[in-house]
Amino acid sequence: MFNTYDDIPANYRRIILQETGYKRIKNVHLDLCNEIIEDHLQYERDMEELMNFELRFKKPGSPEVTEVFKTAKEAFARLDFEMDYDIKTPIIAYVKQADRVVRAILGGKVYEGVQRGKIEVKPMPPASERNDTYTLFNGGARCD
């Protein structure tokens, strides 16, 4: 990627120094610098789709409209505007981020998307209904 240290732009130099903990870029081997830059570029490509929020809505008697925003705040503000700031407006709409529904409005009801990594805690059955291995294999908590 880069053949000399002078070719490396300043923003990548900062990333390399932060990753390695060195004070000077010349102390880091050039192959390691290129590897860190490639990893950073791959990370940016992966995170790029999370930066877009897609708003789709349909009012009665009008065609479906799709708009893309850079922040969730902008998408939710536009959704409020389309609803005329009234939840009872007959509109079908949802906001998506990376093909996951963040918020949907159907028939005046608001639905929030399910979060990943949510921990669901189930109540333990009474001691008379469980045996010793119950808590070991079917414990009181389940991770999704």
Structure confidence by residue, pLDDT tens digits, 73-132: 899 899 889 888 887 788 889 899 888 888 888 878 888 876 665 556 666 667 666 555
Stretch among 11-25, 37-51, 57-71, 129-143 having the lowest mean pLDDT:
129-143
Q: Which residues pair with residue 120 across a beta bridge?
A: 142
For residue 35, is pLDDT > 90?
yes
**58 is written with which tokens?**
């349909």
Angle of helix 10-20 relative to helix 30-48, nearest 10 degrees? 100
Q: What angle do CA 131, 118, 126 make, to 5 degrees?
A: 20
**49 is written with which tokens?**
């789709």
Q: What is the pTM of this model?
A: 0.54
Query: What is d(CA 107, CA 119) in angstroms, rounded to the nearest whole number?
Result: 30
Count of residues in the chain: 144
Looking at residue 15, its amino acid is: I
For residue 32, is pLDDT > 70?
yes
Residue whose token pair is 């045996």: 131
Looking at residue 22, its amino acid is: Y
